[in-house]
Homo-oligomer: A and B are copies of this chain.
Amino acid sequence: MLDKLNWRYAVKKMDPTRSVPEEKVEKILEAIRFAPTSSGVQPFEVFVVTNPALREKIREASFGQPQITEGSHLLVFAAWDNYTAERIDAVLEQTQKARGASETLAAYYERLKGMYLPRTEEVNHDHAARQAYIAFGFALAAAAELEVDSTPMEGFDPAKVDEILGLREKGLRSVTLLPLGVRAEEGDWLQGMAKVRKPADELFTVIA
């Protein structure tokens, strides 16, 4: 992805006649699946929406941003609403299956429950959302590496998107959107504009 940092940008207009090949979408999903998360919990799900009617509704809940329907795939990142004993136990069980059971492992996830379960739902959801953002970063980096256009989006009404996709019933809350598609050759005001980033000396401080 390092040689594509300048290639990628938040595409403002996608070509609705072109689609991202499924094998590239699969690779982006693998990057999401392999992204690291706190204690390996992976406290989120991703919805891959291609259905036109649903994307039309989501677009309406997102200030009409056209990439949602003009891209070929819409990824909706949804973080857990809360940590629960059941959810943490499922992670322990999965880890035991892959690595074998041990007292250390079981004790680790017991301590994790002791830490997470007394916290408020808001604190836990926020923590889960941050893990989803790591995976969101991986998805953006993977898309760039594959020269797949994408538009990271926070500008939408999460409550409406939750309702459209029935997320709250699943214990989830939408946190970010990522339309994938092919940049239109014309009509994108941002295309070709200078990339704006702070200079390194404003962002980084070396303490040697």
Is the C-beta of A138 less than 8 angstroms from some C-beta in chain B?
yes
Question: Which residues on the B side are within 8 Å of A40 (C-beta)?
Answer: 196
Residues of chain A in range 30-70 having any CB-CB distance to chain B below 8 Å? 30-36, 38, 40, 42, 44-51, 54
The answer to whether B196 touches A95, judged by C-beta atoms less than 8 angstroms apart, is: yes
The CA of A207 and the CA of B49, in the complex, are separated in Å by 5
Question: Which residues on the B side are within 8 Å of A31 (C-beta)?
Answer: 1-2, 5, 141
From residue A116, how far is it (CB to closest CB) to chain B in Å? 12
Mark interface residues in A80-92 (1 if CB within 8 Å of B CB, else 0).
0000000000000
Given contact pairs A48-B205, A48-B206, A194 touches B5 in the complex (Cβ within 8 A): no
The 9 closest A-B CB pairs, nearest first, are A137-B137, A133-B133, A5-B34, A141-B141, A134-B137, A98-B194, A98-B196, A48-B206, A49-B207
A: residues with CB less than 8 A from B are 1-2, 5-6, 8, 10, 27, 29-36, 38, 40, 42, 44-51, 54, 94-95, 98-99, 126, 129-130, 133-138, 140-142, 145-146, 152, 154, 165, 193-198, 200, 202-208
